[in-house]
């Protein structure tokens, strides 16, 4: 297909990221003519930009253990600077805050695959209550959890469970596990067996697991020992706490996801699927009566071009850029749009509102000696671990660094666990420029605590300027500044206390707990620590799927209220932050959106 004036496709997909790539692939596979406009390049191809020689982009992209380096790779990283607090004194208490940038680093990717090109590869599907909540909010039964599970089965190609289930499913159509076996998203486990041969680490791990279970003993919170797989559907008590395995989206232990899916479909259907890289969409063309999205204006190689969509323009530009594009096109809160000198088209106060995230902190301990299992690890292509990964698909670098994880409830009356804690053999303290360098240290254990089901919806994304190249203002309003329950702060403190009981099981080996540090022990001290140090990396909700009168931006069929032919399909549509990790939820909604669009609804 060649570029011509007035050219048109059935669908123009803005952003070839996690949602956009999945949606475009399914649409093209089913006969639609699809154009993907992606602001970045291809992370797995030779790009004209020369990467730092010791960090070839392709390796950072493909090697699971290099995901932090991918997120800081200069060719694909797209740094945002977000404020957690409007109050500057409070914000400055976070050492990661950059005054020059007026914010804390929020890493994103500008490349094919979007955040799936640097994320930590964890595949955990959302809980049923997440989908049922969308069903309740919209009244649309197709969002029921029982129907949404079909999308997980459709995308997954599970390779870490007993293969008998796969055969059972193929021969008899019977499979109680909830897994999919034939999809495009291969899921694998990576337990570096060599790590378990390290006696000190092995016994520390066993003691930690025992300590985790003991920590629950007598608390009357439910603890289950036989549900290790977080994506399994058949256990009696899916809502209990316990140890969890960490499935990864890798194929033969290399990153594999939306980018590969899109490329595969393009190879099969080059006549139907076109991908334009380094194409930055500037605004949506809206006109006619009733109002309709006719196409988009985008900039490539310094030239502005226009393309039309005969069916839909679909915004998949992510939680920060999608609301920005709507506002640049005159769709959003009228006073803000007029304030930037942009002609308002549709007054939708919900655009950019409802920004949500999880709260995360880490308990970081320095060990007395480096881990034997990491001896010689440089996290570059120059060491033996890389060669082992490359030649045999084995060893430390097959893992994203997580040893094991625990799902737990911070309070008894919760429906599902609200804390997900995972142990890394690394020094990890959230995001700031150069954070990946710290990962290389070999004498640390970090327990990351992720508080899910946070109740704060008071964050926002706003335009700072009518210039499409300008970054938007991002403000989360953490804890007391927001509108969430005070329980959220206490839950994180609870997480720190729980993780400390596990860390104590390795006490002989620990030189010092550096974060938060044992000198912080009272509830008040730990609360202050969490307020100053919490971060997040699962932002969502800025174009919520809700009725218009409740501040919604899209209806249950992904249509932007008040404009025909315009849809949003990405992390911004979640009315409430789902589950524990976002990528799987994003892939599932993209598959659902493909069905919705193809059915002509
Ligand atoms: C460091 C990190 C680690 C993570 N790890 C995990 C994990 O292990 N598991 C998990 O489930 N979740 C994880 N997440 C979260 C998850 O990856 C993201 O929430 C999810 O991928 C977002 O998908 P999206 O489609 O909404 O946006 P994205 O994947 O960000 O896609 C947006 C795309 O749009 C493009 N774009 C933006 N603006 C324009 C424009 N104007 N014109 C053209 N193109 C444009 C971008 O370049 C990008 O490709 C992680 C996130 C981060 C930051």
User: For residue range 559-593, what is the model confidence (pLDDT) as tens digits?
Assistant: 999 999 999 999 999 999 999 999 999 999 999 99
Residues in the chain: 601
The half-sphere exposure of 18 on its side-chain side, counting CA atoms within 13 A, is 23
Cα–Cα dist 588/597, whole Å: 14
Peptide bond into 161 cis (omega under 30): no
User: Is the C-alpha dihedral spanning 95, 99, 103, 109 positive or negative?
Assistant: negative
| Residue with the larger pLDDT of the pair 140 and 49 | 140
Q: What is the per-residue pLDDT across 398-442, written as a single tens digit (0 to 9) for each? A: 999 998 889 988 987 888 899 999 999 999 999 999 999 999 999
Q: How far is the CA of 92 from the centre of ligand 1 (A)?
A: 27
Average pLDDT over residues 147-167: 91
Q: What is the per-residue pLDDT across 279-304, written as a single tens digit (0 to 9) for each? A: 999 999 999 999 999 999 999 999 99
Q: What is the per-residue pLDDT across 497-519, written as a single tens digit (0 to 9) for each? A: 999 988 888 878 899 999 999 99
Q: How far is the CA of 336 from the centre of ligand 1 (A)?
A: 26
Site to substitute for ligand 1 among 17, 108, 300, 432, most atoms within 8 A of C-beta: 17
CATH number of the domain at 1-42+111-189+256-356+539-601, please? 3.50.50.60
Average pLDDT over residues 528-545: 98
pTM of the full structure: 0.96
pLDDT at 475: 98
Q: How confident is the model at residue 238 (pLDDT cuts 50, 70, 90)?
A: low
Average pLDDT over residues 528-537: 98
pLDDT at 112: 97
pLDDT at 244: 87
Closest C-alpha residue for ligand 1 atom 1: 119
**Number of other CB atoms surrounding residue 277 within 10 Å:** 17
Q: How confident is the model at residue 71 (pLDDT cuts 50, 70, 90)?
A: very high
Site to substitute for ligand 1 among 582, 590, 592, most atoms within 8 A of C-beta: 582
Q: What is the per-residue pLDDT across 73-130, written as a single tens digit (0 to 9) for each? A: 999 999 999 999 999 999 999 999 999 999 999 999 999 999 999 999 999 999 999 9
Cα–Cα dist 330/323, whole Å: 11
pLDDT at 214: 76
Q: What is the per-residue pLDDT across 23-37, written as a single tens digit (0 to 9) for each? A: 999 999 999 999 999
Asked if 512 and 337 touch (Cβ cutoff 8 Å), the reply is: no
Q: How confident is the model at residue 353 (pLDDT cuts 50, 70, 90)?
A: very high
Cα–Cα dist 299/89, whole Å: 39
What is the residue-averaged pLDDT of the chain? 92
Closest C-alpha residue for ligand 1 atom 41: 281
For the ranges 134-138, 390-394, 568-572, the lowest mean pLDDT is seen at 390-394
Ligand 1 site, CB within 6 A: 14-20, 37-40, 71, 107-108, 110, 114-116, 118-122, 280-281, 316-319, 321, 325, 537-538, 570-571, 581-584, 586
pLDDT at 51: 60
Residues annotated within a binding site for FAD: 281
Atom of ligand 1 nearest to the CA of 468: 41
Of the ranges 236-240, 254-258, 369-373, which is most confident?
254-258
| Residue with the larger pLDDT of the pair 55 and 581 | 581
Q: At a CB cut-off of 8 Å and minimum separation 6, what does 136 contact? A: none
Residues annotated within a binding site: 281
Q: What is the DSSP string of 479-509?
A: GGGSSS-THHHHHHHHHHHHHHHHHHTTGGG
DSSP state, 33?
A: -
155, containing H or E segment: helix 145-155
pLDDT at 504: 85
Cα–Cα dist 20/265, whole Å: 13
Q: What is the per-residue pLDDT across 6-27, written as a single tens digit (0 to 9) for each? A: 799 999 999 999 999 999 999 9
Site to substitute for ligand 1 among 18, 185, 247, 284, most atoms within 8 A of C-beta: 18
pLDDT at 4: 46
The half-sphere exposure of 526 on its side-chain side, counting CA atoms within 13 A, is 18
pLDDT at 2 over 50: no
Cα–Cα dist 601/596, whole Å: 6
Closest C-alpha residue for ligand 1 atom 20: 583
Average pLDDT over residues 237-248: 82
pLDDT at 483 over 50: yes
pLDDT at 135 over 60: yes
66, containing H or E segment: none
Cα–Cα dist 345/229, whole Å: 48
DSSP state, 38?
A: -
Q: How confident is the model at residue 226 (pLDDT cuts 50, 70, 90)?
A: low
Q: Could you tell me what percent of the chain has a pLDDT over 70?
A: 94
The half-sphere exposure of 530 on its side-chain side, counting CA atoms within 13 A, is 30
SS3 455: coil
Closest C-alpha residue for ligand 1 atom 11: 583
pLDDT at 158 over 90: yes
């Amino acid at each position: 297909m060649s570029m011509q004036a007035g050219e048109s496709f059935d669908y123009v997909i803005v952003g070839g990221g996690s949602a956009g790539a999945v949606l475009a692939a399914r649409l093209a596979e089913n006969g639609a003519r699809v154009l993907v406009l992606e602001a970045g390049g291809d992370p797995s191809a030779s790009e004209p930009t020369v990467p730092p020689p010791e960090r070839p982009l392709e390796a950072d992209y493909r090697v699971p253990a290099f995901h932090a380096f991918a997120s800081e790779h200069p060719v694909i990283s797209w740094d945002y600077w977000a404020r957690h607090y409007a109050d500057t004194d409070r914000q400055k208490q976070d050492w990661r805050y950059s005054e020059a940038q007026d914010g804390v680093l929020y890493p994103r990717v500008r490349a094919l695959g979007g955040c799936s090109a640097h994320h930590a590869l964890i595949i955990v599907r959302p809980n049923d209550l997440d989908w049922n909540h969308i069903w309740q909010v919209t009244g649309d039964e197709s969002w029921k959890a029982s129907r949404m599970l079909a999308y997980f089965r459709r995308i997954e190609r599970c390779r870490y469970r007993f293969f008998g289930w796969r055969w059972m499913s193929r021969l008899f159509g019977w499979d109680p596990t909830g897994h999919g076996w034939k999809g495009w998203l291969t899921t694998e486990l990576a337990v570096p067996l060599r790590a378990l041969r390290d006696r000190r680490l092995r016994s520390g791990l066993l003691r930690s697991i025992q300590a985790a279970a003991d920590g629950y003993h007598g608390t009357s919170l439910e603890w289950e020992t036989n549900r290790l797989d977080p994506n399994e559907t058949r256990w009696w008590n899916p809502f209990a706490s316990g140890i969890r395995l960490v499935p990864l989206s890798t194929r033969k232990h290399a990153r594999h996801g939306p980018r590969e899916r899109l490329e595969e479909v393009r190879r099969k259907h080059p006549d139907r699927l076109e991908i334009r890289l380094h194409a930055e969409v500037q605004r949506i063309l809206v006109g006619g009566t009733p109002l309709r999205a006719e196409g988009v204006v985008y900039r490539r190689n310094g030239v502005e071009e226009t393309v039309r969509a005969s069916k839909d323009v679909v915004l998949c530009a992510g939680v920060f850029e999608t609301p920005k594009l709507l506002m640049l096109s005159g769709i959003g809160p009228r006073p803000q749009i007029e304030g930037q000198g942009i002609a308002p088209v549709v007054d939708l106060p919900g655009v950019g509102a409802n920004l949500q995230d999880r709260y995360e902190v880490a308990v970081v301990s320095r060990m007395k000696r480096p881990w034997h299992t990491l001896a010689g690890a440089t996290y570059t292509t120059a060491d033996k671990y890389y060669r082992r990964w490359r030649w045999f698909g084995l060893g430390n670098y097959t893992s994203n660094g997580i040893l094991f994880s625990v799902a737990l409830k911070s309070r008894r009356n919760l429906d599902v666990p609200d804390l997900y804690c995972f142990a890394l053999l690394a020094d990890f303290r959230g995001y700031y420029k150069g954070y990946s360098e710290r990962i290389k240290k070999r004498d640390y254990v970090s327990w990351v605590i992720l508080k899910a089901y946070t109740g704060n919806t008071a964050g926002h994304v706003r335009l700072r300027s009518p210039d499409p190249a300008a970054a938007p203002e991002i403000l989360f309003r953490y804890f007391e500044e927001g509108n969430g329950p005070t329980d959220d702060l206490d839950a994180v403190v609870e997480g720190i206390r729980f993780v400390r009981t596990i860390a104590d099981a390795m006490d002989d080996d620990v030189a010092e707990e550096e974060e938060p540090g044992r000198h912080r022990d009272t509830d008040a001290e730990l609360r202050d620590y969490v307020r100053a140090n919490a971060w997040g990396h699962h932002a969502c909700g800025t174009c919520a799927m809700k009725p218009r009168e409740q501040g919604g931006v899209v209806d249950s069929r992904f249509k932007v209220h008040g404009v025909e032919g315009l849809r949003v399909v990405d992390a911004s549509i979640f009315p409430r932050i789902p589950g524990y990790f976002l990528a799987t939820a994003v892939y599932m909604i993209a598959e659902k959106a493909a069905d919705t669009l193809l059915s002509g609804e």
